[in-house]
Amino acid sequence: MTRKSVVAGNWKMNLTLKEGVDLSTNLCQMLSKKPLKSIKKDMEVILFTPFIHLPEVVKIVKGVENVFAGAQNCYSKPSGAYTGEVSASMIRSTEATHVLIGHSERRSLFSEKDEFLAEKVSTALDNDLKVVFCCGENLNERENGNHFEVVNKQIYNGLFWLDEEQFHNIIIAYEPVWAIGTGKTASPEQAQEMHKYIRGLIEKKYGENVSDNISILYGGSCNSKNAEELFENNDVDGGLIGGASLKPAEFFKIIQSF
Ligand code: 13P
């Protein structure tokens, strides 16, 4: 196994169905002219769409090598009387392959706690979905120097109960909350420092073989201007892109930043 480079787009609660179909179609057209493997070996692109868009986007990305579709969330229970929720098996039934768990907007706006997120990770893996697990400190925590401790706890509680085989289906996204949607990006040094710390935690828990192979993405105001200086760091394996993933040409530039 080799460590994959990944550029993922998180559309959040944006785009009508038609706009989402148009965006994915445009992007896939660009990628059929310039395939991912011509940009970088072992590179993947994942589009995290709203649930509504998912079956259509799955069809669009299907013919394009190493481009995948995923959901931005799933519920922790397999099925039942949970009005308004969407299960991991429903997501998998669309042939989507990935799910985002623990995004800071879920943690802060919907009060999702570590234990609940761990349940979501479990049901996602049970249903053969790969998980992009988000972690990151807020501004207060960074200014008080608690950022390593916060990220350690999120990863420990959310993921470190998994066995080694399960852990192979995890990608980590480090997204400092103070950098999300603010236009304020972590410096390449800050990103590298935290990514190295996260890889070190994984090495201690699962060994070097696992820590060497896990992809750790940076998220937070990443765009075509700063992607290259972020991605060139040893422990930064790509990005989780919010706002800049909503414009196909801009997102395509980020993909080409390796
Ligand atoms: P922005 O790129 O808009 O800052 O969002 C980052 C993010 O939250 C991706 O999940």
158: Cα within 13 Å, side-chain hemisphere: 29
User: Does residue 245 line the site of ligand 1, with CB under 6 A?
Assistant: no
> How far away, in angstroms, is 172 Cα from ligand 1 center?
14
| Atom of ligand 1 at shortest range from CA of 222 | 2
Secondary structure letter of residue 10 according to DSSP: E
Say how many Å lie between the CA of residue 219 and the centre of ligand 1: 6
181 Cα: distance to centroid of ligand 1 (angstroms) = 6
Binding site membership of 9 for ligand 1 (Cβ less than 6 Å)? no
Q: Ligand 1 centre and the CA of 188: distance in Å?
A: 16
pLDDT tens, 128-177? 999 999 999 999 999 999 999 999 999 999 999 999 999 999 999 999 99
The pLDDT value recorded for residue 89 is 98
Q: What proportion of the chain, given as a percentage, has pLDDT over 70? A: 100
**pLDDT value at residue 1:** 66
164 labelled catalytic: no
Residue 138: predicted pLDDT:
96
Whether 220 is in the pocket of ligand 1, judged by its Cβ within 6 Å, is yes
Nearest CA owner, ligand 1 atom 7: 242
Give the chain's residues under pLDDT 50: none
DSSP the chain: --PPEEEEEE--S---HHHHHHHHHHHHHHHHHS-HHHH-TTEEEEEEE-GGGHHHHHHHHTTSTTEEEEES---SSSSSS-TT---HHHHHHTT--EEEE--HHHHHHS---HHHHHHHHHHHHHTT-EEEEEE---HHHHHTT-HHHHHHHHHHHHHTTS-HHHHTTEEEEE--GGGTTSS-PPPHHHHHHHHHHHHHHHHHHH-HHHHHH--EEEESS--TTTHHHHHTSTT--EEEESGGGSSHHHHHHHHTT-
Ligand 1 pocket test: pick from 137, 222, 230 the residue with the most ligand atoms within 8 Å of its Cβ. 222
Domain 5-255 has CATH 3.20.20.70: yes
Using the mean position of ligand 1's atoms as its centre, give its distance from the Cα of residue 72 in Å: 12
CB 242 within 8 A of CB 10: yes
- Ligand 1, atom 1, residue with closest C-alpha: 242
The atom of ligand 1 lying closest to the CA of 179 is: 4
Q: Active site includes 175? A: yes
Does residue 243 line the site of ligand 1, with CB under 6 A? Answer: yes
Ligand 1 pocket member 10 (CB < 6 A): yes
Which is the catalytic residue, given 53, 98, 103, 147? 103
Question: Is the Cβ atom of 240 under 6 angstroms away from ligand 1?
Answer: yes
Residue 143 Ramachandran class (φ > 0 left, ψ -120 to 50 alpha, else beta): alpha
